[in-house]
Amino acid sequence: MSALGYAAIAAQAGAVVVGAPLLTGWMRQVRARLEGRAGAGTAQPWRDLRKLLRKEPITAAGTGPAFRVAPALLVASTLVVAALIPLVSTATPISGHADAILVVGLLALGTVTLALAGLDTGTAFGGMGSSREMTISALVEPTILLAVFALSIPAGSTNLAAIISGAAEDPARLASPAGLLATAALAVAVLAETGRIPVDNPSTHLELTMVHEAMVLEYAGPDLALVELGAQMRLTVLLGLQASLFVPWGIATAGDSWGSLLLALAVLAVKVAALGALLAAAEVFWAKLRLFRVPELLAGSFLLALLAVTASYFLGTGGGIL
Amino acid sequence: MPAATRTVQETGPADLPAVAAGLLAEGRRLALVAAHHDDAAAPGGRALRVVYLFVSGPPDTRLEVHVRLDADRPELPTLAHRSFAAGRFEREMHDLHGVRVQDHPLPRRLVRHFHWPRGWYPMRPDAGPPPAFGAQEGPYPFLEVEGDGVYEIPVGPVHAGLIEPGHFRFSVVGETILKLKARLWFVHKGIEKLFEGRTVERGLPLAERISGDTAVGHALAYCLAVEEATGTEVPGEAQRARAMLLELERMYNHVTDLGALCNDVGHSVLNSHALRIREQLLRVNETVTGHRLLRGGVVVGGARLESVPEPGLLRAVREDIREVAALALGHSTVRDRFTGTAVLGADVARDLGCLGYVARAAGLTDDARIAHPFTVYDPAPDVAVRTTGDVLARFQIRAEEIDTAVDLATALAPGLRPGTVRADPAGGPRSGVGIVEGWRGTITTRVELAADGTLARVKPVDPSFFNWPALPLALADTIVPDFPLTNKSFNLSYAGNDL
């Protein structure tokens, strides 16, 4: 059991690190094909990372520790989240610590780290990007917390493993109004948190419209590789979390064998790839919102999350904390 | 097609403000100001001669005011209080020719690069080759906006995208732009100087390259000016071929920008389609002139076509473009981003002397195809005008101008045949003016020839020169993330402005 549990942790973390650039490449490829372009191929982000890692490390003049530690801290905090949350198995030696509030906190740590790094550069773009990122973040974090809270009410715990195994046993919870509202709220929050259209445009070259890219404009070489990898891992982790929360089948549980662990890994890959393709396809039909409209969108998603919590109180049945 | 008459009026420097004020009050537009260094052999003797070209139409009238100044101590009274564009031409003359302008309200440098050595004026006959960068001519500060929470964003001159160089200094509170200063002339290439001494034929390739996306517009304005100067009667068929090439240029540039505007709001699928259509048009261009950007189609004295475009193909392209434009305007987010963004009022546009789609989106109806035609248009071009002055209006004008361009090109094409049609010079007044409605707006070029027929002075004026000052004004109270969209909706030429 213990060996299997540790193997599950390693599999989750490994899958996120290896898979994150592939997911980004896959999403770009889906988008390119839908737009009638050939695309650079699924492995292109890995090739980019390899190119960046081979470059000479350079830090911008006048930057301090916040700028230097941010890339490593971003990747490390995301890696902890990847190991913690039940992506492949709900029964790992650390799944007892997979608290939803802790996970949101770890993701916020990565965001704040990058925002500080952006400020540390002392450039107008860094400050502008950080300011925008914090504005969006301040609106997104409560939504994520509230959505997870709505889901935790039937399970009676904020532990993600408990929420997910509970939902796998009782799928009616997911189809409940609370479950559906929370799904929608979390989906919008994930879009904002990972800097996708309609909130931010990850492929833009227009420096004045950037949010995430403006913060990291001063990074080069291996540091940039880490920042890119960190951003890709966050997207993978959040899509993986969403998949686990709302399609909780196929995840290995206590007492499962090595075979089911491998199966769970394959199922995870399929679920995340499908979600990614869906997101990429949707992005083709969307356009980026005016920056001042973004709070309206996020306020809407917060309202959905609030409704989800309310609904689970008023409509919630059996097994909950009521 | 009767040639437009051009009248010349000599005036002393002291009378200039009154004369100019009278001409402007009659509704004429100051289209061009050029300084000339006349030597002792010139008819009026050695002087620095400044030519002001005032135009109006229809009917097509062109009136030149010539002012002679002391060649060694040229001093000129300013017209900046009466015409904003005149103030900019005066600053340009100061920086390039060393003309002192008295009482100029904005006596700051315009063209002068930060590192040009003090006292070096490149357009003077004795300027010699460009010297090394040296001691600068005084400080060159940006106006600092002070107040709580005001910060500056410096952008450029090198940008993240593949665009031309220009420095933008934003003074911002939060995300709202309080003031924008655009500093240009990073790509000053000395084109006016390069024209000097060339033969008329060798000047044409240079004119085609003033702004790469306006090869036909600038080449045609140059050729019309040269033909007036040499008394060349261009055959009607050649003029119609030129008019068609002008519309082909308008089509491929407008469709590119329709796509780019969609791309700037993150709706890249329409950009992919716009680029696909652009590629179709570029291939049409290649079969018509042998060059994807239509170089070589306009020749001095005539036009040269390798083939005539298929009207059916152009109409199919028009349907395609209409669909892209309709999809863009039917998308609620795209429409929301365009609507009310960066409004340029009609008064401002008129005061600055804006041209082209920038002016027409603000409610001005100027179009050189109507005011200064070089051929008979049948049907007459349908000039699209909007009054809201926002990004949406500029987008819609572009889309409608493509429609008109296809109408004109398909009407002109059937009467054309492949081959070269041209006429020979018959002797003329050795100076001439060409006015053309390029895709960005009205291009004016003035040419003077030396006694041996070579180019003594060529002064091209791209519409961007008039439109650049409008960009910061349109951006007041716009938010920073909407700047790239606004900039793209203006799509002004840096190369054409910087010369």
How far does the CA of residue A284 sit from the closest CA of chain B (Å)?
6
Question: Which residues, 6+ apart, have CB-to-CB distance to A227 below 8 Å?
Answer: A70, A71, A74, A114, A216, A219
Cis peptide before B58 (omega within 30 of 0): yes
| Residue B96 amino acid letter | L
Structure tokens at B339: 């609507």
Which residues 193-222 of chain B have a CB within 8 Å of chain A?
A: none
Q: How far is residue A88 from each of residues A11, A105, A161, A169, A273, measured CA to CA in Å? A: 8, 21, 11, 16, 15
Give yes or no for residue B96 having a pLDDT over 60: yes
Q: What is the pLDDT of residue A172?
A: 84
Give yes or no for residue B461 having a pLDDT over 50: yes
User: Does B5-102 match B191-498 in CATH topology?
Assistant: no
Q: What is the pLDDT of residue A72?
A: 94
Q: Name the residue with tokens 């699928």.
A: B269
Q: How far apart are the first and last CA of chain B?
A: 32
Confidence of residue B4 (pLDDT cuts 50, 70, 90): low
B337 touches B262 (CB < 8 A): no
Give yes or no for residue B447 having a pLDDT over 90: yes
State whether residue B463 sits within 8 Å of chain A by CB.
no
A308: three-class secondary structure by DSSP: helix
A87/A19 Cα distance (integer angstroms): 13
Among candidates A284, A286, A291 on the partner chain, residue whose Cβ is nearest the Cβ of B479:
A291
Other CB atoms within 10 Å distance of the CB of residue A64: 13
B77: three-class secondary structure by DSSP: strand
Among A31, A199, A209, most B C-beta atoms within 10 A, so best to mutate, is A209
Q: Which residue of B has its CA nearest to A125?
A: B153
Confidence of residue B293 (pLDDT cuts 50, 70, 90): very high
| pLDDT tens digits along B261-276 | 999 888 889 999 999 9
What is the helix (H) or strand (E) element at residue A126, kind and residue range? Answer: helix A124-155
ipTM of the complex: 0.85
B228 touches B429 (CB < 8 A): yes
Contact A125 B151 (CB under 8 A): no
Pick the CATH number of B191-498 from 3.30.420.270, 2.60.40.10, 3.40.109.10, 1.10.645.10: 1.10.645.10
Contact B159 A207 (CB under 8 A): yes
Nearest Cα to B21, choosing from B83, B101, B88, B97? B83
Question: Which residues, 6+ apart, have CB-to-CB distance to B377 below 8 Å?
Answer: B243, B369, B408
Among candidates B154, B161, B331 on the partner chain, residue whose Cβ is nearest the Cβ of A206:
B161
For chain A, 322 residues long, the average pLDDT of each consecutive 10-residue run is 84 94 95 91 94 91 90 95 90 86 91 92 88 90 87 86 87 84 90 86 80 88 94 94 87 81 91 94 88 89 91 65 42
Give yes or no for residue B201 having a pLDDT over 50: yes
B229 touches B221 (CB < 8 A): no
Which residues 132-161 of chain A have a CB within 8 Å of chain B?
A: none
Sign of CA dihedral B90, B95, B97, B100: positive
A210: three-class secondary structure by DSSP: coil
* Percent with pLDDT over 90 in chain B: 55
Pick the CATH number of B5-102 from 3.30.300.30, 3.40.50.150, 1.10.357.10, 3.30.460.80: 3.30.460.80
* Percent with pLDDT over 70 in chain B: 99
Name the more confident of A196 and B434.
B434
Q: E strands of B98-145, at which residues?
A: 100-102
How far does the CA of residue B266 sit from the closest CA of chain A (Å)?
5
Backbone angles phi, psi at B461, to 5 degrees: -125, 115
A30/A28 Cα distance (integer angstroms): 5
Among candidates A128, A206, A293 on the partner chain, residue whose Cβ is nearest the Cβ of B153:
A128
Give yes or no for residue B84 having a pLDDT over 70: yes
Among candidates A198, A209, A293 on the partner chain, residue whose Cβ is nearest the Cβ of B484:
A209
DSSP-derived letter for residue B445 is: E
| pLDDT tens digits along B120-162 | 888 888 888 888 887 777 777 788 888 888 888 888 788 877 7
Mean pLDDT computed over B389-403: 93
State whether residue B451 sits within 8 Å of chain A by CB.
no
How far does the CA of residue B342 sit from the closest CA of chain A (Å)?
13
B9/B347 Cα distance (integer angstroms): 30
Q: What is the pLDDT of residue A154?
A: 83
Q: What is the pLDDT of residue A280?
A: 92
State whether residue A34 sits within 8 Å of chain B by CB.
yes
Contact B484 A127 (CB under 8 A): no
Q: Give chain B's mean pLDDT.
A: 90
The sheet that has B442-449: what strands, in order across it?
B431-437, B442-449, B455-461
Which residues 186-215 of chain A have a CB within 8 Å of chain B?
A: 197-198, 201, 203-209
Question: Where exactly are the structural domains of chain B?
Answer: 5-102, 191-498
Contact A292 B479 (CB under 8 A): yes
B248 touches B285 (CB < 8 A): yes
Q: Which residue of B has its CA nearest to A203?
A: B266
How far does the CA of residue A263 sit from the closest CA of chain B (Å)?
37
Q: Which residue of A has its CA nearest to B488?
A: A206
